[in-house]
Amino acid sequence: MAKRIMVADDDPAILDVLKQILEGKGYEVDTSTGASILTELPEFLPDLLILDIWMSGIDGGDVCKKLKRQKATKHMPVILLSANKNVGKIALKQGANDFIVKPFEMNHLLKKVKEHVL
């Protein structure tokens, strides 16, 4: 069965490219524009959540922190994504499993995804 990845970003083009890249490698991809990500997560959790930090209306860092505090979601791997160079520090602070700086190299993204989708 294909591994499922959820991608949340408020920029449709980013969602489109991430979907293409990940589906090209055989992953099953769901997307969210972010604002209501917490309610959009399916009961059957994805194998990985890729979460943009700076989204309109919602802070991806806060979302990550909430998910990592809830019993039901805390084991779901989260990769934070941002153009902010401090994304590494934010990831550490909010308990994310990893981070990716925008813009990214495709190979780097795929390597990180592979590491966390088990």
Is omega for the bond preceding 103 within 30 degrees of 0, making it cis? yes
Task: List the interface residues with other proteins, window 43-72 (CB under 8 A).
Answer: 54
Give the Cβ contact number of residue 85 at 10 Å.
8
Applying CB under 8 A, which of residues 89, 93, 111, 114 lies at the interface with other proteins? 89
Does position 16 bind other proteins by CB under 8 A?
yes
Distance, CA of 47 to CA of 95 (rounded, Å): 17
Applying CB under 8 A, which of residues 20, 62, 69, 114 lies at the interface with other proteins? 20
Give the Cβ contact number of residue 14 at 10 Å.
17
Interface positions with other proteins (CB under 8 A): 11, 13-14, 16-18, 20-21, 24, 54, 83-86, 88-89, 101-106
